[in-house]
Each structure stands twice: as structure tokens, then as C-alpha cells.
Amino acid sequence: MANREAPIGIFDSGVGGTSIWQEIHQLLPHEDTLYLADSKYAPYGNRPKEEIVSLSKKNTEYLLENGCKIIVVACNTATTNAIAQLRSEYDVPFIGIEPAIKPAALKTKTRSIGILATKGTLGSELFHKTAESVTYGIQLTEVVGEGLVPLIENGNLGDPQLRKLLQRYLQPMLEAQIDHLVLGCSHYPYLVPLLREMLPEGIKIIDSGEAVARQTQAILQQHNLLNLKKTIPKLRFYTNASVATLQLLLQEYSESILIEKKDF
Ligand code: DGL
């Protein structure tokens, strides 16, 4: 039985979900967290659904063995392909992340929005259902961000290849006169500075990080699992590949976190 002081477990196919971890840590600064970067198997985006499910189960089991009280699936690809199965197999609350197309659809003035996500997310049933129900009368330009995740995993956010790929992916969205760009992959918030340079000012960039953090807080509260102690939290990051990119992306937290290589 989980207790209030147990850690929040978070996993992603790699380093991208740390963008979600930052939102969770900001909102719940006293919670212990255990983050798994499954970088050895990244990207998930081009894998078949069964493989995404089995990798998600592996990560969930590792987090549960380490005593986590809730699991945040900080990966759109894993959420849209595997969360139903995870919820049916494990007796622990799960929080998922899905592309924020609903808020974009509610706010668009040009009635045209764009989404950049992985093939796995855009091809999933869950995404199609959501898209159909919220984008009635709105043009939705879907683009697969092929090749972006491996470049982010390498940690070189200044790689000219990133700009080149984004130029190609943004083109159909600009032609469709979108006024909202939805980032449907937890790796992509790390591209926001570059995207801001490349996009006209009027286009809003939306991701789901803050909403996921708020949902995590609400579900912990609902299950009486919020940590009420105001002590210094234990913030662990495990990767099954190199620690270098995690170190780079989380450098502002380097004094307070622990990054380790593990087998999982
Ligand atoms: N960070 C992921 C997501 O949110 C997965 C990217 C990938 O592994 O393809 O979709």
C-alpha cells in the first residue's frame, strides 16, 4: 500500500519527459520523484503499439518495485498507445499526457491549428477520437516530427539539422495559416526557443506540461497521497543510456538532483 511519502514515478521514452518533471516539481516542490529515461529504446514513436505497451509495462513495473505511489506517463506516444492497458493491469493511479488540441481548438481565431507529434501518437486511436470530438469545423494540420527525438536525445539543441527539419514540418502549417501550434511530444518543449525564432509572433505554442502537473496534484489529493511534509525532496533520475543529456537539460537543478545509469 503506497503512502504519502512515497515518490511520484515518471517515465518517458527518453529525456523529453523532464519537461513535464519540471512542471511537476514546480507545483509540488516537496514531493520525492523518480524519473526513468528509457533512452536505450528511444524513440518509441515509430514502434508498433504492442512494443510501446510492453516497454511501458517494463517501466511501470520498475517504478512500482521502487515504491512509487503514482505513475506519470510523461510521453504522448506511450499514453495514447498504452495507458488503457496499464490502468487495467496495475492497481495504482496513472496520469497520462495527450496533445493539447482541445485548448487550441477553443482559442483559435483563424480556425486552423497545427500539431507536431510522433507517428505513434498521430496514428493512435485515442488521438483520433479526441481530435474528432474537439476539432469540428476547424482545420487540423498534423505533421510527424520524424527525426526530432533522436536529435534531442543527443543533447545538441543547436544542431542545424533541427532547424532544417522544423522548416520542412512548419511549412504546411504556415500555408494553412494556423494560429496555434500544439506540441504533441514531451521532447518538443526543448525546441521552443528555436520555434519562437522561426514562427511569426502571432502563433501560440501550446504544450501539456502544466496541465499534467495540475492533474497529478488533483489525483494525489483525491487518493490522500499528497506528501504533507515540507522536507527537502529526493529527486532521482535513472537512465539506461548515457547520463550526459540529462545532465545538460537539468543543469539548473544539478545541486539538488541525482542522475544515475541503471539497467531497466
Ligand atoms: N517523448 C515522447 C512523446 O511524448 C516520445 C518520443 C518518442 O520516443 O518517439 O511522444
Mutate to test the pocket of ligand 1, among 35, 52, 76, 148 (most ligand atoms within 8 A of CB): 76
Q: Is 185 an annotated catalytic residue?
A: yes
pLDDT for 208-217, tens place per residue?
A: 999 999 999 9
Q: Categorise residue 177: left if φ over 0, alpha if ψ from -120 to 50, beta otherwise.
A: left
- Name the residue with the closest Cα to ligand 1, atom 9: 45
Q: What is the pTM of this model?
A: 0.96
Q: Cα of 231 to ligand 1 centre, how many Å?
A: 33
Query: DSSP states of 11-27 as a string?
Result: EESSSTTHHHHHHHHHH
For the record, the C-alpha cell of 100 comes out as: 493539447
How far, in Å, CA of 239 to CA of 30, rounded? 23
pLDDT for 56-101, tens place per residue?
A: 999 999 999 999 999 999 999 999 999 999 999 999 999 999 999 9
Instruction: For Cα atoms 100, 191, 211, give the angle at the middle one, nearest 5 degrees.
Output: 30
pLDDT for 8-24, tens place per residue?
A: 999 999 999 999 999 99
At position 174, the amino acid (one-letter code) is L
Please give the domain boundaries of the chain with CATH numbers for all domains.
8-97+210-261 (3.40.50.1860), 101-208 (3.40.50.1860)
End-to-end Cα distance, the chain: 23
Q: Cα of 148 to ligand 1 centre, how many Å?
A: 10
Q: Cα of 76 to ligand 1 centre, how many Å?
A: 6
- Name the residue with the closest Cα to ligand 1, atom 8: 43
pLDDT band (50, 70, 90) for residue 1: low
Q: For position 44, what pLDDT does the model report? A: 95
Give the active site residue among 6, 15, 131, 185. 185
Mutate to test the pocket of ligand 1, among 36, 118, 127 (most ligand atoms within 8 A of CB): 118
Q: Cα of 14 to ligand 1 centre, how many Å?
A: 8
Stretch (H or E) spanning 102: helix 101-107
How far, in Å, CA of 203 to CA of 261, rounded? 39
Q: Which atom of ligand 1 is nearest to the CA of 186?
A: 4
